[in-house]
Amino acid sequence: MKYNFGAGPGKLAKEVLEEASKAITNFNNTGLSILEISHRSQYFMDVVDEAESLVRDLLEVPETHDIIFLQGGASTQFAMVPMNLLPPDGFAAYLDTGVWANKAIQEAKRFGEVVVVGSSINANYNFLPRDFKVSSNVAYFHYTSNNTIYGTAFSFTPEVTVPLVCDMSSDIFSRRIDVSKYNLIYAGAQKNAGPAGLTIVIIKKGILGHVKRVIPFIFDYRLHIENKSMYNTPAVYAIYVAMLNFRWLTRKGGVAAIELENNAKAALLYREIDDNPLFVGTARTEDRSRMNVTFTMVTAGLEQEFLNFSRDRYIIGIEGHRSTGGFRVSLYNAVTLQDVEVLVSAMREFSTQKEHEIRYSAMHGG
């Protein structure tokens, strides 16, 4: 048993993993592995149907929107979104809130004009630009709801009057959202939804087919929608595990219930960071993410010692991203409040120990 706060692929619930493991040797008592059944078998069609229906219920996706399961991660969506939605002579507005937002921008530039309406790059992305203006003639406005590396997140939907496109890779299913406000939502699954190798895309009906550009079949959303995520062989196992995970989330009370838990987990950790003299948060307070909590140490040079101290207590995955340093604690849905309590205790214990060492050293002139 480890306390896994890794940034992704992230922790999954034990009961999900146990069922996922069983299906590898004997799927639904068929005597077959989920890995060796046809994706066109009734067995698997049922899995896809259930996965889609659970996503629809969990996120309250209205009938105005389609749900598809693709491969290739959010990075593939960085290209598919402008390919399908940005006219060659059109403009798209993007918000630059981190490395991933920036990658989406660079990819979109290969398809048309991109207007970066706001950026926090000069503050190493430690806040979210809020005073940006989006011109009404853009094809869409794209933003990243949660920035894993920097620990910032939109707790609200930005108010714009143009079609909204959002990369929700790292906070989908963690909080309630109003899907009807969006033209397109996409998310790599490997944080809150399931294993790596799966991408969930939610698309408003009627928005496709208006761009004059030759779109390769495989990158045309319409074919994936028409074929109910079966245009080509899908990522069978990743869809299956995501479905198990959606069942688990539903049993837990759905997104509203997990949002309360996620709020409590984040509040506990941020309180410790703010109260503990040894640690300091890196993201601007009002933009703090409930999924990825980033902080550093006030006293430099103790980082590795704290990592070791934590590892001895089976706490793993808290190193900051290589571009920011410090610490990053990811609080995805499967991380429990108890996990966070263990971490908070370790932070407190470590800090008290260091305080004693400093006092002792001062008293004895060490």
Catalytic residue numbers, as ranges: 100, 167, 191
Q: Among residues 231 and 295, whose Cβ is nearest to a second copy?
A: 231
Percentages helix, strand, coil for the chain, rounded to the nearest 5? 40, 15, 40
Q: Pattern 286-325, binding to a second copy, x per CB under 8 A?
A: ----------------------------x-xx--------
Residue 232, annotated ligand binder? yes
Q: CB-wise, 25 or 361, nearer to a second copy?
A: 25
Strand segments (E) across 63-220: 65-70, 91-96, 113-119, 141-144, 146-147, 152-153, 164-167, 184-188, 199-204
Distances (CA, A) of 244 to 51, 126, 191, 199, 223: 8, 35, 14, 16, 26
Q: Are 318 and 339 in contact (CB under 8 A)?
A: no
193 marked as part of a ligand binding site? no
Should residue 1 be labelled a site residue for a second copy when binding is judged by CB under 8 A? yes
Q: Which is nearer to a second copy, 107 or 259 (CB)?
A: 107
**From 104-112, 175-183, 249-257, 303-311, span contacting a second copy (CB under 8 A):** 104-112
248 is in an annotated binding site: no
Chain positions 342 to 361 lying near a second copy, rule: CB under 8 A, are none
Cα torsion through 67, 4, 288, 202, rounded to 10: 0
Out of 53, 75, 157, 336, which residue is the one contacting a second copy (CB under 8 A)? 75
CA 8 – CA 201 distance, rounded (Å): 19
- 33 a known binding residue? no
Any binding-site annotation on 288?
no
The answer to the question of residue 72 lying near a second copy (CB under 8 A) is yes
Query: Do residues 79 and 219 lie in contact, with contact meaning Cβ atoms separated by under 8 Å?
Result: yes
Q: From the CB of 353, what's the least distance to a second copy, in Å?
A: 26
Cβ proximity to a second copy: between 164 and 241 the closer is: 241
On whether 338 is known to bind a ligand per the annotation, the reply is: no
Figure out which of the listed residues 28, 64, 106, 361 binds a second copy, where binding follows CB under 8 A: 106
- The minimum distance between CB 294 and a second copy, in angstroms, equals 16
- Per CB under 8 A, which of residues 237..256 are in contact with a second copy? 237-238, 241
Helix (H, G, I), strand (E, B) or coil at 146: strand
| Residue number, 34 or 255, with CB nearest to a second copy | 34
Q: How many residues bind a second copy (CB under 8 A)?
A: 64
Quote the CA–CA distance of 169 and 158 in Å, as a whole number.
17
Q: Which residues contact 166 (CB under 8 A, 6 or more apart)?
A: 142, 143, 144, 145, 182, 184, 185, 186
267 labelled binding-site residue: no
Closest to 202 (Cα-Cα) out of 193, 210, 211? 193
Answer for which of 116, 121, 162, 196 binds a second copy (CB under 8 A) is: 196
Check the annotation: does 40 bind a ligand.
yes
In the chain, alpha helices (H): 14-25, 42-58, 73-85, 99-108, 221-226, 236-251, 254-275, 303-312, 337-363
Residues 5-24 that bind a second copy (CB under 8 A): 6-12, 17-18, 20-22, 24
216 binds a second copy per the rule CB under 8 A: yes
SS3 at position 72 = coil
β partners of residue 296: 280
| Whether the bond into 9 is cis, omega within 30 of 0 | yes
The residue ranges that bind a second copy (CB under 8 A) are 1-2, 4, 6-12, 17-18, 20-22, 24-25, 30-33, 35-39, 71-76, 78-79, 83, 103, 106-107, 110-111, 188, 190, 195-198, 214-219, 231-238, 241, 314, 316-317
